[in-house]
Amino acid sequence: MKKRFLTLGIETSCDETSAAVLEGPHTLLSNVVASQEKIHARFGGVVPEIAARKHVEAINHIIAAALEEAGAGFGDIDLIAVTTGPGLAVSLLVGISAARALSHSLGVPAVGVSHLEGHLLANCVGGAGADFPAVCLLVSGGHTEIIYVAGMGDYEPIGSTVDDAAGEAFDKVARALGLGYPGGPAIQRAAAAGDPKKISFPRPMLRENNFNFSFSGLKTAVINHIRVNGLAAPGEDGATAEDVAAAFQEAVADVLTEKTLRAAEDRGARDVWLGGGVAANKRLRERLREEALRRGFGFFSPPMTLCTDNAGMIAKAGYEIYSRGGALPGLLANPSMGLKSG
């Protein structure tokens, strides 16, 4: 008798090569991530051709490592789940090709998964914490979305950015401040030494009666400030790079928190979830958590290893899609895929 159902998750949509093994619906046996961050730091961002080449070099080793850590062999895999979008086409294809080859040679089904559904369901790995209905704020380098989650498999996007993603704004502001890439950690580090009250940046779209965001104007406000006032050296009058970073971070956290909670109130959610790579930002996490609890919502955010890009969340989403039954979303790459897998 076979005692466990194993899903192999594969994720190569951006600059992380990742593979994971999920046992049953909840237990993540392994979640291995090879990051290309250091490689791309030289260029100030992800370079697609390099990203794809690195995925090709890494993918087999990463899958082998994930299986080894899970104490499983290829023959133990029951299902393969792979990210088919959104992301960089050339990068997605590396993971998809691996999934196809394994699916054919092992004779097991493969399911195509939306990276966004993965981020969303990262909140449900381990079977912990998450309570429906929920409103999830999903923030990463490429996405800023508010999603209403009525139940497993029942999602509705209710707000998004009208221009730049939040993570992108962090990258661009970090670049303008000369703080390097990736921007998120760089801003957070600088902000910790700064005074957020030295300057007040606009809170874009906070007054508008919808759940959308705009970060391009905030980025421009920061750049305008730097151009007009320059950056003060420590001890000088005026705002230092650290102060600007702190004020910018505060504005972003404010807008994201307020809009998410308004959505939760509007939809009568029980829980507020936070997912995506920008969830690593301590200030945002703290603000959203405090405010959610203060207004009577539950708050849940997965551990950081499940917030940044990883295959564990893809395995989870793939497992859920598979166990719902029906036709499985195929393995065609779709760089502009939405929340719905396939």
Residues at the interface with another protein (CB under 8 A): 43, 45-50, 86-90, 141-143, 160-165, 168, 172, 175-176, 216-217, 219-220, 222-224, 227-228, 335-336
CB of 244 to another protein, least distance (A): 13
Q: How far apart are the first and last CA of the chain?
A: 33
DSSP codes, 226-282: HHHH--PPTTSSS--HHHHHHHHHHHHHHHHHHHHHHHHHHHT-SEEEEESGGGG-H
55 or 316: CB nearest another protein: 55
54 or 316: CB nearest another protein: 54
Tokens of 288: 């959203």
CB of 276 to another protein, least distance (A): 12
CB of 11 to another protein, least distance (A): 16
Q: How far apart (Å, rounded) are the C-alpha atoms in residues 90 and 77?
A: 26
168 or 271: CB nearest another protein: 168
80 or 218: CB nearest another protein: 218
CB of 4 to another protein, least distance (A): 37
27 or 212: CB nearest another protein: 212
CB of 29 to another protein, least distance (A): 31
Strand partners, 264: none
307 or 333: CB nearest another protein: 333
7 or 341: CB nearest another protein: 341
Contacts of 20 (CB under 8 A, 6+ apart): 8, 9, 11, 28, 29, 30, 31, 32, 66, 310, 311, 312, 314, 315
Contacts of 233 (CB under 8 A, 6+ apart): 240
Tokens of 262: 């308004």
Distances in Å between the alpha carbon of 317 and those of 76, 117, 153, 218, 324? 19, 7, 9, 34, 11
Tokens of 22: 């999920």
Tokens of 220: 């421009």
CB of 336 to another protein, least distance (A): 6
- Phi/psi zone of residue 214: left (φ > 0), alpha (ψ -120 to 50 degrees), beta? beta
Q: Which amino acid is at 9?
A: G
CB of 249 to another protein, least distance (A): 18
227 or 294: CB nearest another protein: 227
Residue 278 · residue 284 · CB < 8 Å: yes
CB of 299 to another protein, least distance (A): 27
CB of 90 to another protein, least distance (A): 6
9 or 142: CB nearest another protein: 142
- The 10 Å CB-count burial string (b at 16+, else e) for 290-312 is ebbeeeebebbbbeeebbbbbbb
